[in-house]
Structure 1
């Protein structure tokens, strides 16, 4: 889905908590260490076998780098809808607004 934008993250490995997966994925994708802060919304079903869970997080070490993607971008609340979100991420975006206010 080249050209589409997505939130960082990925699969939860067997025996891994959501929070541990988020920490691992952000390190692998962005070269940062993070601390999960708050879960945003509920579960968003992507398919019969996948669901999306979103967290806010604090960077505790490092500067984000686009290790597995073409680019990365910080968005302000006014820019949230300026990128072409992948279909699975679109329903989450309005739920992020309170955390950005």
Structure 2
């Protein structure tokens, strides 16, 4: 199980990060986040991942559960929990990604994204 954040700026854009070379699905654009460690709550995992991946801090109260996605990935099944976050501290920096970009939900259809992220676009378009 993994958690991810749709970080939304004051212009209604969402931050995506590009997966680096040498990793599965390299070059694809995804929502920031990562794996939930054993015994870790999803919100705590997401706060940790945002710090590790983007060098930003968020509070649990700023994470709103939005939806989930389910996808088969080669030899395993992925369950992704998506949260919307509109408040954080710091300026996102790509610590483990090739790059970052702010996009509107309707622009995501033109980007290569992982199979679990793509079904979330329509919901985000309706929410934002």
TM-score band by shorter chain is 0.7 to 0.9
- Using the TM superposition, give the Cα deviation of residue 69 of structure 1 relative to its aligned residue in structure 2, in angstroms: 0.6
Deviation string for 1:42-87 (max 9, x for gaps)?
x322345431110001342110001111001111244232311111
Alignment equivalent of 1:46, drawn from 71, 74, 88 = 71
Unpaired segments of 5 or more residues in structure 1?
none
Unpaired segments of 5 or more residues in structure 2?
1-24
- Please, what is the CA RMSD of the aligned residues? 1.7
Aligned residues: 99
Does the residue aligned with 2:125 lie in a helix, a strand or coil?
A: helix
- Using the TM superposition, give the Cα deviation of residue 98 of structure 1 relative to its aligned residue in structure 2, in angstroms: 2.4
Could you say which structure has the higher strand fraction? 2
Stretches (4+) displaced over 6 A: none
Q: 1:85 to 1:66 in 2, by over 3 A?
A: same
Alignment equivalent of 2:90, drawn from 48, 62, 67 = 62
Question: For the residues of structure 2 that align with 1:37 and 1:82, how far apart are their CA atoms?
Answer: 27
Matched-pair contact (CA < 8 Å) for 2:33–2:49: yes
Q: More relative contact order in 1 or in 2 (CA 8 Å, sep 6+)?
A: 2
TM-score (normalised: structure 1): 0.85
